[in-house]
Amino acid sequence: MNKLLLTLLFTLFLNQNAFAEDKPNILWLFQEDTSPWMGAYDYEVQKGETPVIDKMASEGVIFKRAYVPAPVCSACRSAVIVGANQFRFGAHEHRSRRGKGALPLPQGMKTLPQLFKEAGYATFNQGKDDYNFTYPPSTYIKVNGKQTSMSWREMPKGKPFFGQIQLKGGKTNTGKFPRERKTNPGAVTVPADYPQNQMYREIVAQHCDTIRSDDDRIGRILDELKKDGLMGKTIVVYFSDHGANNLIRHKQMPTEAGLHVPLVIIGPEKWVPKQAVRNDLVTILDVSATSLTWAGIDYPEWIEGQNLFADDFKARSYVGSGRDRCDHTIDRVRTIRTDKYRYTRNYKLDRVFLQPQYRDNKDYLKFMRSEYAKGTLDPKLAEIYFGERPAEELYDITLDPAQVNNLAKLPKYQAVLKEHRQILNSWVAKGDLGAGQEPDIELEINGNGRFKGVNAEYERVRTDSDGDGLSDLWEQYNNRDPKDGQLMFEFDCGGWQNEGWISDGKTTNISGRQGFLNFDLIAEKASLKRSGLKLDSSRNQGDLVLRIRSNTPAEIQFSANGENIASSKVSGTDEFNDLNFALGANWAGTIKDLKLEFKAPAGTKIEIDWMRVK
């Protein structure tokens, strides 16, 4: 009996070791907030300064055009750990479905580490997870989270491992980085979509330093794998979750710079080719799929990536990505990258590109806002960051990698625009939960507390105690008095440009550059309306004053509660004029809605700076 038991145990031991020998270890080095600014990516100032990553690239496979599904940590990491685009399964809103709003993955859906565990792998994650869903604690074996620890040493013996080590990347504190190894700000190139000044040169240089610092750490990790004799059976995948964190058109932004990341893979030749350079379009979701292939795990139905090294591999014709709410900043953008072009669709046109966000207290962002307010920001940058939000954007990335010149309205690009529009439509049609509204609990968590949300969506979970159509919190966050009961619209909040005014459809988009309503008349008669008021007329006596300009003479009729109040005319001029509308007998009781009717030739350009009762 004892001999039989020993024989069975010995057979089990041999089988387990045979399984472990047949299956590779898979280690993801998952870096935060890092653009592909390494020597291996031909980034000039980094040549010779990132030797570890460069050596990995020369010995393994480097992917020159890899893109993440989202330009922010949690949405990207949620997508990659599941293997599907974040908006397919509800993980698209940054830092959502946790805390009071906690929700698990949809029924039947699992994370990669769960699939790996079921296939006999040991799984670990050293560092942040940041998923927009809850998951079982047993998904990962608990490990020491210190940067100096090598977590694979804590895994059960006789099992292959699927593990992640999170690297600080762009968030690295480089204060103690050796001075002699720091990047010279005078030697860097600031991307064309940023101010060309010393402040931004220092930001670019500091990002280079974070990459140099992490290059050292990656070297230490690889050295320890070698010491443990694991390099011969371990695949190492190095990649980032999105672009540089202190560049405001990189992190959180669905641009080429925000989505383009490094991707380098090394490992035994049985699984990973040697000395290969890949220029095909790749999504980091392909890393998810390829990792499953290495482990011999069949793809579940939700997997959207493909095996990067399949015998029948077919290069992608496009890669898609999306951006939704980030912190308290609500947006919805979808974008595709083809071989030459990036096409972007903006769904929320009542807010500028650089609307209020979590970096507003940073000097580099304060500088941008201050220069815009003073009128001294470069006109092209003012258009990009604070101009009217275009519904569609199209860029030739081969000529314009910083996405400075939008080609969408140029006649010669209409065929290209139409083609890319159709590609994006087909991609989104496969399922996009971002088209719906976020639950109230998420709005309350993300906009009414630590962060100060100013988008229109937050108004439905707030109170407007003085009836002016703007909630108390919104007015507080915009430095207005929430109790004064005064009719006042300033149009200076980039997160809700129109402050609730809507067009009758006979104008172009009324949400213009930050600080103004500006639009063209499509017909000779058009109107704007503001509903949702409970304004006490007795607290608003005198005149409604409208600061306005029009490029041709225009007649304007002002009404309230469906009753005509007053009319006025504006002359065609480049200068702003203050028009006064006397509030007469029809201005009485509770004011529930306002209306401005315009009469002028079609094509007339009108711009409104503010309106208030005086």
12 pLDDT higher than 50: no
Tell whether 165 is covered by a domain: yes
Tell whether 527 is covered by a domain: yes
Q: What is the extent of the structural domain holding 240?
A: 25-313
* Distances, alpha carbon 503 to alpha carbons 56, 468, 518, 568, in Å: 56, 19, 11, 20
How much of the chain, in percent, has pLDDT values that exceed 70? 97
Tell whether 397 is covered by a domain: no
- Among 313, 329, 360, which residue terminates a domain? 313
Amino acid identity of residue 134, one-letter, is: T
* Mean of pLDDT values over 273-292: 97
- Among 267, 283, 313, which residue terminates a domain? 313
* Distances, alpha carbon 269 to alpha carbons 151, 278, 290, 294, in Å: 24, 16, 15, 12
| Residue matched to tokens 């309106």 | 611
- Among 247, 278, 313, which residue terminates a domain? 313
Q: What is the pLDDT of residue 147?
A: 85
Interatomic CA distance for residues 538 and 27, integer angstroms? 69
pLDDT per residue over 344-357, tens digit each? 999 999 999 999 99
> Which DSSP state fits 104?
B
Tell whether 475 is covered by a domain: yes
DSSP characters over 542-596: SEEEEEEEESS-EEEEEEETTEEEEEEEE-B-SS-EEEEEE--TTS-SEE--EEE
Closest CA to 540 of 478, 597, 580, 488: 488
Tell whether 124 is covered by a domain: yes
Q: What is the pLDDT of residue 450?
A: 83
Going by pLDDT thresholds of 50, 70 and 90, the confidence category of residue 20 is low
466 pLDDT higher than 70: yes
| Residue matched to tokens 């962060």 | 451
Tell whether 512 is covered by a domain: yes
Task: Identify the bridge partners of residue 134 per DSSP, sorted by sequence position.
Answer: 104
DSSP characters over 48-93: TT-HHHHHHHHHSEEESSEE-S-SSHHHHHHHHHHTS-GGGTT--S
Tell whether 421 is covered by a domain: no
* Distances, alpha carbon 50 to alpha carbons 65, 150, 185, 238, 527, in Å: 19, 22, 17, 13, 59
Three-state DSSP at 353 gives coil
Going by pLDDT thresholds of 50, 70 and 90, the confidence category of residue 145 is confident
Counting the structural domains of the chain, the total is 2
Going by pLDDT thresholds of 50, 70 and 90, the confidence category of residue 3 is low
Closest CA to 446 of 325, 365, 350, 322: 325
Closest CA to 432 of 106, 68, 70, 88: 88
* Mean of pLDDT values over 489-518: 97
Q: What is the CATH number of the domain that holds 280?
A: 3.40.720.10
* Mean of pLDDT values over 264-274: 97
Q: In this structure, what token pair is assigned to residue 56?
A: 């990995």
Residues 6+ apart with CB under 8 A from 217: 147, 167
Tell whether 237 is covered by a domain: yes
| Average pLDDT of the residues of the chain | 96
Three-state DSSP at 429 gives coil
Whether 313 and 306 have beta carbons less than 8 Å apart is answered as yes
Going by pLDDT thresholds of 50, 70 and 90, the confidence category of residue 14 is very low
Q: What is the CATH number of the domain that holds 524?
A: 2.60.120.430
| Residue matched to tokens 């949702």 | 532
